[in-house]
Structure 1
Amino acid sequence: MAKQPMLRFVDIARDMPEKRPPDLRRTDFGEIYGEFAREKAGEQAGRCSQCGVPYCQSHCPLHNNIPDWLRLTAEGRLREAYEIAQATNTFPEICGRICPQDRLCEGNCVIEQSGHGTVTIGAVEKYITDTAWDEGWVAPITIAGERPESVGIIGAGPGGLACADMLRRAGVQVTVYDRHDRAGGLMTYGIPGFKLEKDVVMRRNRQLEEGGVTFRLNCDVGRDISFDEIRARHDAVLIATGVYKSRDLQAPGVGAGGIVRAIDFLTASNRKSFGDEVPEFDSGELNAAGKRVVVIGGGDTAMDCVRTSVRQGALSVKCLYRRDRANMPGSQREVANAEEEGVEFVWLSSPKGFAGDTVEGVMVQKMRLGQPDATGRQVPEIIEGADYVEEADLVIKALGFEPEPLPRLWNVEGLEVTRWGTVLADFRTHETSLPGVYACGDIQRGASLVVWAIRDGREAAEAILARFAGQAAIAAE
């Protein structure tokens, strides 16, 4: 391929990979975006302005060297582009699919600020890594030499797996403990296939297993094995459990049948896609087919729920959010995709209660935005006398997640937590109050993004390796 010049954002418009038509994508859980052709990827990468101070890179949690791999893609040097992309990111093909680029790299692109439309960074990242897998450039994990140190990682989500990858490549013996029957955490059971097809995650799991990482699945710490036993088995331990405790509503009728948690709804749907037996889905309890669905919440989990409901054949899908579109925490790109697929957003609305022993409707109170609070966000205020009932057969609570009380669940003393219940750990070394015990991802920082968990996991691996190096130096004296 001939070398393509950069700085072409003036004469070449922003262009995303072709999106499958809404009527078609509503019928299955396949990813909605197609793949760039080689020429189109190079053309779009060539729009990069090669900033002296690349804000895309500085606003990426992993500080990926985005301008360099865009330039290499524009020049047709895809293998080199992949090598640079994977040097800072353990799972670039996953981040290319699910990162909210509109809030991170693309949202801070200089040419976006100048009115020319951001570079399609996420789509190019996905293309580079998918090409690398297809061409066999993604090498198996190779070990220069086995080391005697052993690390136990509790949680097989993105943070735990990123740490496992780095430690194993350094020759450390790694065992990952997870309560589920498949590794991947929310990437496997929380995020729907239309955003992240599951073979993409399973492929990485296989790479880790073939590289020598030991997985102990269906292993619930505190029940099947104690935390103290894990500490005794390993030279260091990483807590990477994520946060799975759903925030709840306090409203009359909230315990009615047909009111379910988002994590249960999404897990059932994803298990069904694997071909698992899911009695709660087959009975209709966690199945939106033929129902009037109301989802409560405005984050990315709520977007996953409304779009999953559409694909399951819901009669109607509405999303209640107490603020307006401009103030919702979820990705605006996901909102647009949901609207294309037939989801109705009911802004400035909050549940007041629920009607029926088995839910028949949501009592909704209308809101307006008042004065900003300490964070700068306008506070929703109730509009008196504007209540109404939204008919519903299935209500999904997507109000976010909180940490489980690990010290109590695991019967461990000395593990300090914050006032929010997250594990207290240094944000550079990730070491907790217990020597040799580390924490990363959502259980340390609260519910956040996959890309932040990957960063935390990589940092924790570096800190653990530094600990082992220091211990070796002391022993050699």
Structure 2
Amino acid sequence: MAERMLQFTHVERKMPEKREAKARADDFAEIYAEFSKEAAGAQAARCSQCGVPFCQQGCPLSNNIPDWLKLAAENRLEEAWRVSSATNNMPEICGRICPQDRLCEGICTIQQSGHGTVTIGSIEKYITDTAWEEGWVTPIKPPRERSQSAGIIGAGPGGLAAAEQLRRKGYQVTVYDAYDRGGGLLVYGIPGFKLEKHVVERRIQRLEESGIVFKFNTRVGEQVSLSTLRAEHDTVLIATGVYAAKDLKCPGSGAQGVYPALEYLTASNRKGFGDAVPAYDEGDLNAEGKRVVVIGGGDTAMDCVRTAIRQGAKQVSCVYRRDRTNMPGSQREVQNAEEEGVVFEWLASPEAILDTKAGKVKAVRANRMKLGEPDASGRQSPVKTGESFDIKADMVIKALGFDPEDLPELFGEEALTVNRWGAVRVDYATMETSLPGVYAAGDIVRGASLVVWAIKDGRDAAEAMHKAMKAAARAETVAAE
């Protein structure tokens, strides 16, 4: 083992420098600076090189984290990038937006010993950003071209990962997406202060240069049917994600000024691209000068509150029915939001949206809650205390999660089976749906989840599609003989 490792006993844990809250609240640029080469190497050298690396077990992609940390500590950055990208199609994106505190860093061995976790995510970001700067990330050149093709429905992380894996094996790949840009929630859901859009755009460009065809503004079920895609391609992957917003079930939820989180975030991100967004320009989806209340406790809620701050909101509050310890969002994001001026109302649940005679929202009435007995999931259930209070509001954003759209209806395929939540059913051994030759991956299978899980599902589905097409080609060759 290199002597430069196991430095955690005398090298303190450090994150890259973070911009001051007042400075970063005025723009949508990422809040963390880049590690210097020296800082990245020093932080990577803190790794204890565990015989059983818990960090790798905590990563959905089983990334070889100790290996590329060691290589980074030795300044062998191109090798570190190749190891990192061997298991992850978007390491620079995961390094930015993965909740490492709940995954790899959360179970780091030296974190458990009290020395502070290795800053895995920031080093991962540094390695891959360096790879882009140095020109190591080049278009895919398959060892041979195959005549078979795959159609991918959805240009989000799951679809993009699958497209890349299949292209590496030489298949002809076409990606269909309803939006006018690739990336899905990476471009329209996640704000720039967590993920600047050029990071996604260069990935899309690289895939295009690799021979993958993108057909944007193409909604399956409208511009093209699923049956047509099945006829045109040897295999098809459904990777649409989930976009139907869960509704707020209380009186007044239809008041003017109450919006779904994704509608709000998409408008903001489109403005960042320079698109025309009338609903933003006219003030509806713009928080400037308003008292904003965001309902929810996940990462989408954190994206909304921090976006409202940057739009110049007068006051921003976040209402969540459990306490801070039990919230589903990243604790790091909560800290960033608090630094930027967001007020959190823990143990509070909306009772009603109060509106004016003209039907415009004026306040959120919330119940004070306490945590009771654990529910079926093991989490303590919130219980009303009988006390309520009002929060003045000019805009209310519902960040309660997402449900799948009705794909059998949208695609005109009644034979496409879904579960009771509307997610597509698959054989998890193959990721194949009830329709032969049609596979599914990501949130449309598992429900709203993390980008890293979508990437894993996309990779798994691509491998199954490859096996199916390879078997079909072999059978065709045998039949011809």
Q: TM-score, normalised by structure 1?
A: 0.98
Q: What residue number does 1:147 align with? A: 146
Tell me how far apart the structure 2 counterparts of residues 410 and 36 of structure 1 sit (CA, whole Å): 46
Tell me how far apart the structure 2 counterparts of residues 4 and 409 of structure 1 sit (CA, whole Å): 59
Tell me how far apart the structure 2 counterparts of residues 370 and 46 of structure 1 sit (CA, whole Å): 44
Q: What residue number does 1:427 align with? A: 428
Q: Deviations over 1:318-341 (max 9, x none)?
A: 000000000000000000000000
Superposed CA RMSD in Å reads 0.8
Tell me how far apart the structure 2 counterparts of residues 426 and 15 of structure 1 sit (CA, whole Å): 43
Tell me how far apart the structure 2 counterparts of residues 428 and 117 of structure 1 sit (CA, whole Å): 38
Tell me how far apart the structure 2 counterparts of residues 64 and 118 of structure 1 sit (CA, whole Å): 17
Q: Say if 2:319 and 2:346, in contact at 8 Å, map to a contact too.
A: yes
Q: What residue number does 1:82 align with? A: 81
1:252 aligns with 2:254: no
Tell me how far apart the structure 2 counterparts of residues 426 and 207 of structure 1 sit (CA, whole Å): 32
Q: What residue number does 2:13 align with? A: 14
Q: SS of the residue aligned with 1:383?
A: strand
Amino acid at match of 2:97: I
Alignment map for 1:71-470 (pairs within 5 Å): 71-356=70-355, 357-384=359-386, 386-470=387-471
Amino acid at match of 1:420: W
Q: Say if 1:31 and 1:196, in contact at 8 Å, map to a contact too.
A: yes
Tell me how far apart the structure 2 counterparts of residues 105 and 428 of structure 1 sit (CA, whole Å): 25
Deviation of residue 148 (structure 1)?
0.7
Tell me how far apart the structure 2 counterparts of residues 214 and 76 of structure 1 sit (CA, whole Å): 36
Tell me how far apart the structure 1 counterparts of residues 161 and 329 of structure 2 sit (CA, whole Å): 25
Tell me how far apart the structure 2 counterparts of residues 60 and 428 of structure 1 sit (CA, whole Å): 20
Deviation of residue 474 (structure 1)?
1.8
Q: Deviations over 1:285-321 (max 9, x none)?
A: 1110000000000000000000000000000000000
Deviation of residue 388 (structure 1)?
1.6
Q: Say if 2:235 and 2:469, in contact at 8 Å, map to a contact too.
A: no
Q: What residue number does 1:471 align with? A: 472
Tell me how far apart the structure 1 counterparts of residues 452 and 3 of structure 2 sit (CA, whole Å): 30
Tell me how far apart the structure 2 counterparts of residues 321 and 241 of structure 1 sit (CA, whole Å): 28
Tell me how far apart the structure 2 counterparts of residues 89 and 198 of structure 1 sit (CA, whole Å): 19
Tell me how far apart the structure 1 counterparts of residues 9 and 288 of structure 2 sit (CA, whole Å): 47
Q: SS of the residue aligned with 2:317?
A: strand
Tell me how far apart the structure 2 counterparts of residues 426 and 193 of structure 1 sit (CA, whole Å): 36
Deviation of residue 428 (structure 1)?
3.2
Tell me how far apart the structure 1 counterparts of residues 200 and 138 of structure 2 sit (CA, whole Å): 16
Q: Deviations over 1:29-66 (max 9, x none)?
A: 00000000001100000000000000000110000000
Q: SS of the residue aligned with 1:142?
A: coil
Tell me how far apart the structure 2 counterparts of residues 185 and 358 of structure 1 sit (CA, whole Å): 31
Q: Say if 1:295 and 1:318, in contact at 8 Å, map to a contact too.
A: yes
Q: Say if 1:46 and 1:71, in contact at 8 Å, map to a contact too.
A: yes
Q: Deviations over 1:99-140 (max 9, x none)?
A: 000000000100001110000000000000000000111121
**Number of paired residues?**
474
Amino acid at match of 1:447: A
Q: Deviations over 1:402-457 (max 9, x none)?
A: 00110011110211111111000122321111110000000011100000000110
Q: SS of the residue aligned with 2:7?
A: coil
Q: Say if 2:372 and 2:380, in contact at 8 Å, map to a contact too.
A: yes
Q: Deviations over 1:85-107 (max 9, x none)?
A: 00000010000000000000000
Amino acid at match of 2:342: V
Tell me how far apart the structure 1 counterparts of residues 472 and 218 of structure 2 sit (CA, whole Å): 30
Q: Say if 1:4 and 1:42, in contact at 8 Å, map to a contact too.
A: no
Amino acid at match of 1:423: V
Q: Say if 1:4 and 1:75, in contact at 8 Å, map to a contact too.
A: no
Q: SS of the residue aligned with 1:102?
A: helix
Q: What residue number does 1:25 align with? A: 24
Tell me how far apart the structure 1 counterparts of residues 354 and 445 of structure 2 sit (CA, whole Å): 38
Tell me how far apart the structure 1 counterparts of residues 323 and 428 of structure 2 sit (CA, whole Å): 33
Q: Say if 1:4 and 1:46, in contact at 8 Å, map to a contact too.
A: no
**Cα gap change, 1:4/1:17 in structure 2, threshold over 3 Å: closer, same or farther?**
farther
Q: Say if 2:138 and 2:206, in contact at 8 Å, map to a contact too.
A: no
Tell me how far apart the structure 1 counterparts of residues 428 and 263 of structure 2 sit (CA, whole Å): 31
Q: Say if 2:320 and 2:348, in contact at 8 Å, map to a contact too.
A: yes
Tell me how far apart the structure 2 counterparts of residues 344 and 390 of structure 1 sit (CA, whole Å): 11
Q: SS of the residue aligned with 2:383?
A: strand
Q: Which runs of 5+ in 2 are unaligned?
A: none
Tell me how far apart the structure 2 counterparts of residues 379 and 232 of structure 1 sit (CA, whole Å): 49
Q: Which runs of 5+ in 1 are unaligned?
A: none
Tell me how far apart the structure 1 counterparts of residues 372 and 57 of structure 2 sit (CA, whole Å): 34
Amino acid at match of 1:187: L
Tell me how far apart the structure 1 counterparts of residues 4 and 47 of structure 2 sit (CA, whole Å): 10
Deviation of residue 468 (structure 1)?
1.3
Q: Say if 1:428 and 1:459, in contact at 8 Å, map to a contact too.
A: no
Q: SS of the residue aligned with 1:360?
A: strand
Tell me how far apart the structure 2 counterparts of residues 359 and 104 of structure 1 sit (CA, whole Å): 39
Tell me how far apart the structure 2 counterparts of residues 207 and 290 of structure 1 sit (CA, whole Å): 40
Tell me how far apart the structure 2 counterparts of residues 475 and 408 of structure 1 sit (CA, whole Å): 34
Moved more, 465-474 or 309-318: 465-474
Amino acid at match of 1:428: A
**Cα gap change, 1:37/1:377 in structure 2, threshold over 3 Å: closer, same or farther?**
same
Amino acid at match of 2:366: V
Tell me how far apart the structure 1 counterparts of residues 270 and 419 of structure 2 sit (CA, whole Å): 33
Deviation of residue 260 (structure 1)?
0.3
Tell me how far apart the structure 1 counterparts of residues 329 and 298 of structure 2 sit (CA, whole Å): 4
Q: Say if 1:96 and 1:126, in contact at 8 Å, map to a contact too.
A: yes
Amino acid at match of 2:429: R
Amino acid at match of 2:409: R
